[in-house]
Chain A
Amino acid sequence: MAVFMQSLISGILIGGVYALIGIGLTLIFGVMRVINFAHGDILMVGMYLTYMIFTLLGIDPFVSVLITFPLMFLFGGFLQKVFINRVLNALAQNQILLTIGLGLIMSNTVMLIFTSDYKILTTSYSSSTIQVGGGVSVSTPLLISFLITAAITATLYWFLLKTDTGQAIRATAQDRDAAQLMGINVKRMSIIAFGLGSALAGTAGALISPTYYIFPQVGGVFTLKAFVITVLGGMGSVVGATLGGILIGVTESMSAVYISSGWKDVIVFVLFLLVLLFKPSGLMGKSRT
C-alpha cells in the first residue's frame, strides 16, 4: 500500500508540471489552431535560461521563475509575430513543419552554444525528501515545483475567466471571425496566447531543471508528452489539459513501479492511441464535426 501511495503521490506531483506544459500547448492550439511542435524545445530554452541564471547570477531556479516567465513570454510573442503569424491560414502540414523547423533551430543553436553535454543543476535540496507519514516520502524539489505549478494554474484560470484580455482570448478560441467582428484584436490575442503558452512551457522547464538532466535534445520527449496530454484532455480545453497532465503523470509513475520503467513511455503512447481511437475529442473536449 505504501508503494502504491508513494507512486500515486509522485505521479500527481510530476503531473502538475506536465499539466503546465499541456496547458501551454492547448492555449496555442485553441486560439490559433496551430499544433506547436516546438513546444518541448521552448521548454528546453527555459531550462537553459534557468541554468544560466543559476550559474551566472546564483539565483535559485524556483525564484528565477519570476525572470524566466516574462522572458519566455517575450520569446513566444516574437516567434508568433515573426513566424507563426505568416502560416495561420496555411495548410496544417505546413504549420507543423514550420514549428518542427523552429524546434530544430532552437535545439541546434543551443547545442552550438552549450555543446551537447548533459548539464546538472545541483541545489542544496536537489536530493532531499520530506516524510509524509505511512512510509511515504516526497522529493522536496518536486513538492515545491508542484506548489508553484498550482499557484500559476490558479492565476491562469483567474486570468482567463475574469479579466477582459482573458475573456477576449477565450472568445478568439471559440470563434476567430466572430471575435474579430466583436472588435477583439485577434492578432494581439494570438501573440498573447503564444507568449503565454511559451511562458508556461519555459516555466515548466525551469521547475524541472533541479531534477532533470539538461541537454539540447531534451525537448523532443516533452513535445510528445504535451500532445498526449492535450489530446487526452481535449484539444483546446484548459481544464482538460490540467486533468490530462496529472493523469499522464500518475500513469507513468504507476507503470514504472508495477510494469517496468523502460516500458512506461510505451504505455503512455498506447493510451494516447486508444484515446484517439475511441474518444478523439478527449476527456473534456466537445466533439467537433
Chain B
Amino acid sequence: MTKTILKAAVVLLLLGFLLIIPRYVESPYALHMMILLFLSVSQGQSWNIVGGYAGQHSVGHAAYFGVGAYTTMMLMHTKQIAPWIGVWAGVALVVVVALAIGSICFRLRGPYFVLASIAVAEILRLSAINLTSLTNGAEGILATELPPFKIGGTIVTEFLTKVPFYYIGLFLVVLTIGITYLVQHSKLGYYFQAIREDQDAAHSLGISITLYKNIALVISAVLTSLAGSFYGIYVGFVDPPTVLGLDVSVQIMLICIIGGMGTLWGPVLGSLVLVPLSEALRSNMVTEVLIKVGLVNAESKVGIFLKENLSHAHVLLYGILVVLVILFMPDGLMGFVKKLATRWKREAV
C-alpha cells in the first residue's frame, strides 16, 4: 500500500515538474527536444497497448499515424477547418481503418499478421502518393499557419511559440500513459494479456479473441492517430514517406522494444534513450565531441568524413541498438532493470 502511494507521489511530482518547465526554460531548442520526447512516448505507448499487452505485433502503425496526420492537415489546408476539429475527423476515420485492418489481419497469426499489417500500411502510403487531387501526392501538404485557438471568443493561444505545443504533447503523454494504466488494471488488460500468452487457451476460457484484439487495436490506433495529428500540426508538413513509410512503423515499434514491451514505463524509457541519441547523431554532436576529446582530428580524412556523413546515418544507430537489444536484452531495458533489481534484492537478503 505504502509502495503504491509512494509511486503515485513520484509520478505527480514528475508531472508537476514537467508542467512548470516552460515557465523557466525559454530556449526553443530545449522545448523542441521535449516535444519530440513527448511525441515519441505517446507513439510508443499507443503501440504498446496492441503490441505489448495484446501481443499483436503490428508493423503497420504508420497507417494510423499517417491517416491522423493527413486528415487533419488536409482539412486544414483545403477546407480551412481548425486542427482541433480536424483531429476528431482523423480519429473517426482511423477507427474505420483500424476495424477494416483488424477484420482482415486478425484472422492471421504470427508472421502472417505482421506481413498483412505491413501490406495495409504500404497500400495507404502508395495511395497517398497516387491520389494527387486529394493528398497532393509525393509533394506532401505544407500548412504552417495555425488559426488561433479560442474558447468562447477569448483567445487561449495563438501558437506563436513552442509552449502551447509543449502542453499539447504533455497532455498526449498523460493521456496515453493514463489509458494504458487503466487498461492494465482492468479486466480488459487481463484479457489482452491472456490472448498474448496463449491465444487458444484464452479462447477456450471463453474470451472472444477477435473482439478483444479489435478493441486493443482501436484504442491503440486512436491514440496513434492523435499523435499523428499532433505531429502534422507541429511540423506543419506531411508527405507519404515521413508519416506513412515503413520506417515510421519500425520506429514506433522500436520505442517499445528497446524500453520493454507490455510495461507501463517501457516506452518512456525507450524514448529517453532513442530521442536524445538520434538527435545527437542528427545534429553532428557526436562528431564534435569526438573531435573535442581528441579522438579524431578535425582536419584528418576521418574527421571530415564523419562530419559530412554521420548525421545522415542516425538510423544506423537504430539498427545496431535493435540487434544488441534483441541478442542481449530481449525483454528491453525494463526487463534488464528488473533483472538487476531482483538480483540486487537477492544479494541483499
Residues on A lying within 8 angstroms of B by beta carbon are 35, 83, 86-87, 90-94, 96-98, 100-105, 107-109, 111-112, 115-116, 220, 224, 227-228, 231, 260, 262-263, 265-266, 269-270, 272-273, 276-277, 280
Contact = CB atoms under 8 A, between A and B. Distances in A.
A100 B257 CA distance: 13
B246 A94 contact: no
Contact of A101 (B116, B120, B320): B320
B104 A277 contact: yes
B326 interface: yes
Contacts of B330: 90-91, 94
A222 to B, nearest CB: 13
Nearest to A108: B316
B195 interface: no
A280 B108 contact: yes
Contact of A105 (B253, B309, B312, B316): B316
A96 to B, nearest CB: 6
B315 interface: yes
26 contacts: A35-B111, A35-B114, A92-B114, A96-B111, A98-B326, A101-B322, A103-B319, A104-B316, A104-B319, A104-B322, A105-B319, A108-B315, A111-B309, A112-B309, A224-B119, A231-B115, A263-B130, A265-B126, A273-B116, A273-B120, A276-B104, A276-B108, A276-B115, A276-B116, A276-B119, A280-B112
Given A90-B326, A263-B130, A265-B126, 4 more contacts: A92-B111, A224-B118, A269-B119, A269-B120
B248 interface: no
A143 B189 CA distance: 57
Give the 7 A-B residue pairs with the shortest CB-CB distance, closest first: A104-B319, A101-B322, A108-B316, A105-B319, A101-B323, A93-B57, A262-B130
Interface of B: 57, 59, 104, 107-108, 110-112, 114-116, 118-120, 122-123, 126-127, 129-130, 246, 250, 253, 257, 309-310, 312-313, 315-316, 318-323, 326-327, 330
A28 B310 CA distance: 33
A115 B120 CA distance: 31
B107 A277 contact: yes
Contacts of B108: 276, 280
Contacts of B315: 104, 107-108
A83 B323 CA distance: 8
B191 to A, nearest CB: 20
A107 to B, nearest CB: 8
A141 B315 CA distance: 34
Contacts of B246: 220
Contact of B327 (A86, A91, A112): A86
B326 A87 contact: yes
A92 B126 contact: no
Contacts of A97: 253, 257, 322, 326
Nearest to B119: A269
Contacts of B257: 97
A101 B258 CA distance: 12
A18 B321 CA distance: 31
Contacts of B110: 92
A211 to B, nearest CB: 22
B129 A262 contact: yes
Given A112-B316, A269-B123, A277-B107, A100 B250 contact: yes
B280 to A, nearest CB: 16
Nearest to B254: A97
A97 B321 CA distance: 11
Contacts of B313: 108-109, 111-112
A58 B173 CA distance: 57
Given A101-B323, A102-B323, A104-B315, A266 B57 contact: no
Contacts of A96: 57, 59, 111, 114
Contacts of B115: 35, 227, 231, 272, 276
A98 B323 contact: yes
A117 to B, nearest CB: 11
Contact of A231 (B112, B120, B129, B310): B112
A262 B320 CA distance: 34
Nearest to A93: B57
B323 A105 contact: yes
Contacts of A228: 119
Given A90-B330, A103-B319, A115 B309 contact: yes
Nearest to B319: A104
B307 to A, nearest CB: 12
Contacts of B123: 266, 269-270, 273
B120 A108 contact: no
A94 B253 CA distance: 12
Contacts of B322: 97-98, 100-101, 104
Contacts of A90: 326, 330
A273 B322 CA distance: 28
Contacts of A102: 319, 323
A241 to B, nearest CB: 15
